[in-house]
Structure 1
Amino acid sequence: MRKIILLLLLSAFISGCSSLSKSQIETVQQFGEVTSNFSAYPSAIMEELAEIRLKRGLYYASTLTDPMRHLDELDSIYSQKKYDYKVSEKIDVTFRVLDKYAQSLVLLSSGDYTANLQNNAAEFGVGMDSLVNLYNVKSNAEKLPAGIGEALGKIVGFSGDRYIKVKQSEKIKEYVTKADTLVLIMTSNLLEYLESSNLEELISYEEKMIRRNYLTYLQLTDTGTFESQREYLDLKSNLDAAKDLKALTIQSTKDLQAAHKELVQVVQKKQKLHSTIKELRVFYQQVAEIRETLNALKKDK
């Protein structure tokens, strides 16, 4: 009799909890998968500009007939390349937090809700909280909410697939809702970085110096070979692609903000989803455009 009563109580508890529908969980997983490599896009802008700076610098180095000056210029180009590939600590942590959050969503919305998954979830939760603490120490701006990984790290297993399904839904709702402030702050950091006058000035400077350095190269070496002319045109084309990538990434970062706010609404609704929400769809389309731009750049290498 006691076992029957316990089973009835457990059944009543389960039925009283609103679990997410399959389509809701799939929406969370899709968002996590699309966002998991988002930090690669802003980084690609700086990497492309660094590559452009290096190649156009070689034009100038080629005009130096004194071996020592030539070597000094090459050393300077190398040092600049190392510097260009660095990002500020604040942005670096921002990238890592966003990636960790997206990876956590994929993990949390996994259909394979096993003990192994739960162990991984605990590790991801600890990792997220460590990154949040690191950000709060290094940033003088608005702090991230503490314990953001707790919702993920405290997942525990219970016997019975139906009960586990309820726990998964609870944790997804808790995690996504609590993380909205995190996403807002992280994307605001990215926008501050992408829309900064420093980045715009760097792009304008490279646009001017590509032409100036190649002109000097032509005037002093008289070696306007087919290969060098082709490379000059490629540099101009790649700079245009970097500018396009910057504009796309700025818009997709704004779309990421809006999409996550909509994701919060998605996990709080009880009805099934019959189509992808507009804000999510726009974000996915923007990311697809960025990937096409990056693929085009890789083909030119």
Structure 2
Amino acid sequence: MTPLRLALVPGEPAGVGPELCVRLVQTARSYGMTAFGDPQTLRAAADALKLPLHLVAPEDDQGRAGELALHPIPNAVDVAFGQPAPANAHAVIDALHTAAAHCLRGDCHGLVTGPVHKAVINDGGIPYTGTTELLAEQARCGVVMMLANPTMRVALATTHLPLREVADAITPASLSATLRTVHAALRTDFGIDQPRIAVLGLNPHAGEAGHLGHEEIAVIEPVLAVLRGEGMSLEGPLPADTAFLPGRLKRYDAVLAMYHDQGLPVLKFSGFEHAVNITLGLPYPRVAVDHGTALDLAGKGTADPSSLIAAAATCARMARARTAIMP
């Protein structure tokens, strides 16, 4: 039996990430957690919140309240709350890469990430489109983005694309790969033996039998037929405007939306504070908060830690489902 240990990356040092990490560790944990970040920033966040923070080496971590193991990755310049510095972009990316490397080696069993500021990272001279893409490139694998809250799980067939590019991006190969990844993750990470997945159509009314678009007939329906033949439980393509009705959601373990704003507004409306962003397909579980850096709230002690708390709890459950580890 291997003790569970999660890697934690606070994200943008000038945002709310560091103080949310401080709040996260105010309760004793049944697993180890190693933060990858700047010690001075974490201590400043704890001082601003007037909360205890005892930074220890990973081997000394006992999971006690107010205690956090740290793999130090110093920032290049001092941090001021709410004022991101592009000079610290390399430390943010280094923290992500180093934490992920620990997960790939098996030193940590899952990765929890706080919010980062894409524009600041690019201003720091690092081409960056998102942490999901960064982790997928490092692990050399295909991934799927899923957002989840206590009400629903919503995966995406496409992510951050202009709407006019979405239809061309949904191909038989990409859709099949996405559904296989979602199905495998529901079994491996969530312990669902026979996952039930609702697949949304691309067009209004799921194309209305070809009168409102042909993607359902030409792409989605043939892929679903092949995967059903392999034993997957797939319903669809479904009209998006009725698929999220509470009575219908009870029949599914996850919903696959064709594009970002088709599925995520419904999920966020149903429980934004407890929503988390999960990367499916990596060799380890990765769960992120579902909010931004909130620079205007940094250092004020008013930022809600619910999403980070939910992310850590979700990551721990996923890691336990993957590995024979101690409770």
TM-score (norm 1): 0.27
Normalized per residue, which structure has more helix? 1
TM-score (norm 2): 0.26
